[in-house]
Amino acid sequence: MASYYEQVGASAIRDVVDRFYTVVLDDVELKPYFDGVDLARLKRHMVVLLCSVLGGPEAYEGRDLGDAHQGMGISGEHYEKVGGILVTVLRDDFAAGDDLVEHVVGVLGQVRGAIVERPVGAAG
């Protein structure tokens, strides 16, 4: 059986990441997280990360996700919003299958604790 990566392909993953960041950066609540960020570099890291998550041949060797997001004050609401954007892009813009989307949602759940600094409903 082909991996999710083989089903989607590297080129489509780059397109998913481009579309994902277009939507994220159009959101007034999420855009401030990316002020001063080298977006081209971030997109490259995200492509490798997503390829790795989907079973691609290249292992993600970037910064630990907890370290990379430390001090950003990411709220539970914003994490959920970003995850929802990724799922929507995968489903609606790229017609990803339910099994692939469920796999990505599972991974998002696994790494959530390393990224979120303020739980859903926490003031700040």
Cβ(5)–Cβ(53) under 8 Å? no
Q: What is the distance between the alpha carbons of residues 124 and 122, in angstroms, rounded to a whole number?
A: 7
pTM: 0.89
Tell me the pLDDT tens digit for each residue of 36-90. 999 999 999 999 999 999 999 877 887 888 888 888 999 999 999 999 999 999 9
Mean of pLDDT over the chain? 91
Phi, psi of 97 (to 5 degrees): -70, 160
Comparing 10 with 99, which gets the higher pLDDT? 99
Which ranges of the chain does DSSP label H, i.e. alpha helix?
4-8, 10-25, 39-53, 65-69, 76-88, 98-115
Amino acid sitting at position 84: G
Tell me the pLDDT tens digit for each residue of 69-82. 888 999 999 999 99
Tell me the pLDDT tens digit for each residue of 96-110. 999 999 999 999 999
Domain at 4-115: CATH code: 1.10.490.10
Phi, psi of 75 (to 5 degrees): -85, 160
- Predicted confidence at residue 59, as pLDDT, reads 78
